[in-house]
Amino acid sequence: MSVRTYWKSVIEDTHDWSSQSFYVLDASSVNSLYFPRPTDIITLTPTSESIRCWSEWDGSGQRWKVYVSDPTFIGKIYYRLQARAY
């Protein structure tokens, strides 16, 4: 039996996308009880309609990476993460 867990939070506008091209979603940035899996569902909502953002699974690091289409973007990105514990 699996249990669904949800987390909602924000990537703050202090993240410098030009110097670090991605933001990491893992236990240290989400919640200490979060264990990243490639089957997680992540919904990203930037504060600007002109910005596109997406997540990619990093299997070697066992984490999610969040990217934005414009590295000069300054703003928040809200995310909702759905994970399953097995």
Q: For all residues of the chain together, what is the average pLDDT?
A: 93
Q: Is 75 exposed, middle or buried (0-12, 13-18, 19+ CB in 10 A)?
A: middle
CA 85 to each of CA 3, 20, 45, 68, 76: distance values in angstroms, whole numbers, following the listed order: 5, 30, 25, 28, 28
Does 47 fall in a domain? Answer: no
Does 33 fall in a domain? Answer: yes
Does 61 fall in a domain? Answer: yes
Does 27 fall in a domain? Answer: yes
Does 73 fall in a domain? Answer: yes
Give the lowest-confidence range in 8-12, 33-37, 68-72, 77-81.
Answer: 33-37
Does 83 fall in a domain? Answer: no
Show the domain range for 31: 20-37+54-77
Confidence of residue 1 (pLDDT cuts 50, 70, 90): low
Confidence of residue 28 (pLDDT cuts 50, 70, 90): very high
Query: How many folded domains does the chain comprise?
Result: 1
Q: Write out the two tokens for 70.
A: 């414009």
Does 46 fall in a domain? Answer: no
Q: Rounded CA gap, 52 and 48, in Å?
A: 9
Does 69 fall in a domain? Answer: yes
pTM for the model stands at 0.91
Q: Rounded CA gap, 34 and 37, in Å?
A: 9
